[in-house]
Amino acid sequence: METIHIQTESKKYNVFVGDGVSSEIDSFLAAHFPKLTKVLIITDENVAKLHLDQLLGQLQHRKPIVFTAPGGEKAKTFDVYYQALSSALENRLDRKSLILAIGGGAVGDLAGFVAASFMRGIPFIQIPTTILAHDSAVGGKVAINHPLGKNMIGAFYQPEAVFYDLGLLQTLPEAEIRSGFAEVIKHALIHDPAFYDWLLSNIDDLNGLTMKQLSYSLIKGIQVKNHFVSQDEKETGIRAYLNFGHTLGHAIEAEMGYGNFTHGEAVMIGMIFALKLSEELTGLSFNIERFISWVQKLGYQTRIPMHISNDQLLQKMKQDKKSVGETVRFVLLEEIGRPNLREIDDSLIIDRLQKF
Ligand SMILES: O=C(O)C(=O)C[C@@H](O)[C@H](O)[C@H](O)COP(=O)(O)O
């Protein structure tokens, strides 16, 4: 087992990574929450089928309450958030209760926001079941979506611990692997050129990832994440670099309808667009053609779906949290591992979207 120490301004906690680490949760609860009253598990319908019995088995004596959300981004609506809070109230959770988030990014975001807002905040633990969650489960961004924008209602609220059980990742469908691995590639591009080179030379088939490759990729990604969140928990500065690829990525997701296009696949298109802008505006010297053919081989789409209008995308980008006033800001790269934030004119965005 590998332990990564996360240290933000508000909280220190550990991310435990390894095959079988989720079997340590009960002893963690006993050691750290001796006065624990109730446990609410928040999961989704897909994860529940695959992993819930195994986790319930070890927590049986705590008689956990289970709230099951719909799969994917459909978990991150006002309605589902309200239902989860109602379940916490009806089952009489109190301030000595705890929430366990078992699932991917969407479940973690929902459960974290329920934990942050229930009685003004109760503890929660993340048990990620996807590759994407190496990003979303660490750093404390918790949120639900609004039809006008992704993650628009949320908080910065850190978990007590993250139990990253690699055994739970064995059943991931291909699209989910691709979605999560896009964030791994993002972490390498924004901060770690050596890791990027390693990915390029070692990863050529996302379905054939070995346990060693997977665990190395996740650990490296989490370390990059920690680098940014430990210095800027609330995104007043460098944390925004973690949003590389997300300005256009979030707009594509919103235009496609949440859940109809995976987060990571939208971010991959956003990263390619941002790399092209970087070449032009920051002088980035990078072999984009090689990058594109590598990610195409990994199964990523590299173009914006045809039916989406560029004007609509621009409107969505203006609602991005990085925008200031009406001006859209993109994370660009000066070099691999050297990001910066740039304001980009609407006319340039529209023109480059047309040529993309
Ligand atoms: O943790 C962060 O900070 C990130 O920006 C990570 C992103 O990969 C992640 O998708 C995040 O949820 C998006 O952030 P948002 O602030 O644009 O909602």
User: Ligand 1, atom 13: nearest CA belongs to which residue?
Assistant: 243
Domains of the chain: 2-169 (3.40.50.1970), 174-355 (1.20.1090.10)
Please state, in angstroms and rounded to a whole number, the distance separating the CA atoms of residues 128 and 101. Answer: 8
CA 243 to ligand 1 center in whole angstroms:
6
Please state, in angstroms and rounded to a whole number, the distance separating the CA atoms of residues 182 and 299. Answer: 11
Known binding-site residues for NAD(+) equal: 105-109, 129-130, 141, 150
User: Ligand 1, atom 9: nearest CA belongs to which residue?
Assistant: 136
Type of residue found at 49: K
Please state, in angstroms and rounded to a whole number, the distance separating the CA atoms of residues 275 and 55. Answer: 42
**ipTM score of complex:** 0.97
Task: Give the lowest-confidence range in 34-38, 171-175, 289-293, 331-335.
Answer: 171-175
CA 297 to ligand 1 center in whole angstroms:
26
CA 239 to ligand 1 center in whole angstroms:
9
Give residue for tokens 């490759």.
213
pLDDT tens-digit map of 262-310: 999 999 999 999 999 999 999 999 999 999 999 999 999 999 998 899 9
Tell me, yes or no, if the pTM score tops 0.90.
yes
Under 8 Å CB-to-CB from 148, ≥6 apart: which residues? Answer: 254, 319
Whether the predicted pLDDT of 35 surpasses 90: yes
pLDDT tens-digit map of 1-21: 999 999 999 999 999 999 999
Residue 292 Cα distances to 14, 102, 200, angstroms: 35, 34, 11
Give the closest residue to 132 by CA, choosing from 101, 175, 161, 100.
175
User: Ligand 1, atom 2: nearest CA belongs to which residue?
Assistant: 242
Bridge partner residues of 101 (DSSP) = 42, 126
Pocket perturbation via mutation, ligand 1, pick of 148, 242, 341 by most ligand atoms within 8 A of CB:
242
Type of residue found at 230: S
Please state, in angstroms and rounded to a whole number, the distance separating the CA atoms of residues 99 and 42. Answer: 7
String of DSSP letters for 291-338: HHHHHHHTT---S--TTS-HHHHHHHHHTSTT-BTTBEEEEEEEETTE
